Amino acid sequence: MFSVVKVGGSILRSTEDYVKTAAELRNLIEEGERFIVVVSAAKGVTDKLLKYLNSSSKAIDEVKEFYVNAAREIGGFKLVKRVEEEVSRVSSIQVKYGSVNPAICDYVLSIGERLSKIILRGALDLVGVNSTELDARDFILTNNVHGDAEIDLEKTEPRVSKLREFISEGVIPVLEGFIGSSPEGFVTTLGRGGSDYTATAIAKILGLEKVYLVTDGPGVYVANPSIIKRVEVIPKLSYSEAYEASLHGVKRFNSKTFKVLLGSKGIRVYVGEWGKFSTVIDDNTGDEGPKIIATSRDESHLRVSIIGEGVYRAKYVVKAVSSLRDLGEHVLGLNVNYPRPSITLLFKDEEGANEAVLTLYKALLKGDDT
Distance of alpha carbon 103 from alpha carbon 14, whole angstroms: 29
> Peptide bond preceding 339: is omega within 30 degrees of 0, i.e. cis?
yes
Residue-wise pLDDT tens digits, 266-287: 999 999 999 999 999 999 877 8
**pLDDT at position 250, please?**
96
Pairing type for strands 268-273 and 210-214 reads parallel
Is pLDDT of 316 > 90?
A: yes
**pLDDT at position 257, please?**
98
Question: Is 222 inside a domain boundary?
Answer: no
Question: Is 97 inside a domain boundary?
Answer: yes
In this prediction, residues 119-135 reach a mean pLDDT of: 97
**pLDDT at position 96, please?**
77
Q: Give, in degrees to the nearest 5, the angle at Cα 332 between 331 and 338.
A: 95
61 shares its domain with 205: yes
Residue-wise pLDDT tens digits, 166-205: 999 999 999 999 999 999 999 999 999 999 999 999 999 9
**pLDDT at position 245, please?**
97
Band (119; pLDDT cuts 50, 70, 90): very high
For the ranges 62-66, 209-213, 297-301, which has the lowest average pLDDT?
297-301
**pLDDT at position 369, please?**
44
334 shares its domain with 197: no
Residue-wise pLDDT tens digits, 227-238: 998 899 999 999
**pLDDT at position 329, please?**
72
21 shares its domain with 129: yes
Distance of alpha carbon 237 from alpha carbon 277, whole angstroms: 13
Q: How many CA atoms are closer than 13 Å to the CA of 306, on its beta-carbon side? A: 32
Say which CATH number the domain at 320 has.
Answer: 3.30.70.260
In this prediction, residues 312-317 reach a mean pLDDT of: 94
182 shares its domain with 49: yes
57 shares its domain with 203: yes
Which residue, 158, 187, 216, sits at the end of a domain? 216
What domain range includes position 21?
A: 3-216
Pairing type for strands 268-273 and 276-282 reads antiparallel
Q: Give, in degrees to the nearest 5, the angle at Cα 208 between 242 and 171.
A: 125
**pLDDT at position 344, please?**
96
Distance of alpha carbon 285 from alpha carbon 128, whole angstroms: 41
pLDDT averaged over every residue in the chain: 94
Q: Give, in degrees to the nearest 5, the angle at Cα 351 between 306 and 44.
A: 75
Q: Give, in degrees to the nearest 5, the angle at Cα 182 between 180 and 183.
A: 140
**pLDDT at position 368, please?**
46
Give how many domains the chain has, as a whole number.
2
168 shares its domain with 299: no
Question: Is 177 inside a domain boundary?
Answer: yes
**pLDDT at position 93, please?**
86
Question: Is 316 inside a domain boundary?
Answer: yes
Is pLDDT of 370 > 50?
A: no
209 shares its domain with 300: no
**pLDDT at position 33, please?**
93
Band (326; pLDDT cuts 50, 70, 90): confident
Is pLDDT of 243 > 90?
A: yes
In this prediction, residues 46-75 reach a mean pLDDT of: 94
In this prediction, residues 307-318 reach a mean pLDDT of: 95
Which residue, 174, 189, 216, sits at the end of a domain? 216
Question: Is 261 inside a domain boundary?
Answer: no
Distance of alpha carbon 271 from alpha carbon 29, whole angstroms: 19
Is pLDDT of 60 > 80?
A: yes
Q: Give, in degrees to the nearest 5, the angle at Cα 53 between 90 and 258.
A: 90
Please, are residues 306 and 320 in contact by the beta-carbon 8 Å criterion? yes
**pLDDT at position 298, please?**
81
Say which CATH number the domain at 104 has.
Answer: 3.40.1160.10
In this prediction, residues 52-67 reach a mean pLDDT of: 93
Helix (H, G, I), strand (E, B) or coil at 28: helix
Please, are residues 140 and 95 in contact by the beta-carbon 8 Å criterion? no
206 shares its domain with 311: no
Band (27; pLDDT cuts 50, 70, 90): very high
Question: Is 207 inside a domain boundary?
Answer: yes
Question: Is 279 inside a domain boundary?
Answer: no
Percent of the chain with pLDDT over 70: 99
Q: Give, in degrees to the nearest 5, the angle at Cα 253 between 167 and 327.
A: 155
Please, are residues 9 and 113 in contact by the beta-carbon 8 Å criterion? no
| The three-state (H, E, C) secondary structure of 74-92, written as one string | HCCHHHHHHHHHHHHHHHH
Nearest one of 207, 315, 176, 294 to 242, comparing CA atoms: 294
19 shares its domain with 112: yes
Exposure of 329 by Cβ count < 10 A (0-12 exposed, 13-18 middle, 19+ buried)?
Answer: exposed
27 shares its domain with 114: yes
Question: Is 263 inside a domain boundary?
Answer: no
Helix (H, G, I), strand (E, B) or coil at 267: coil
Which residue, 191, 216, 241, sits at the end of a domain? 216
37 shares its domain with 177: yes
In this prediction, residues 49-54 reach a mean pLDDT of: 93
199 shares its domain with 323: no
93 or 220, which is more confident? 220
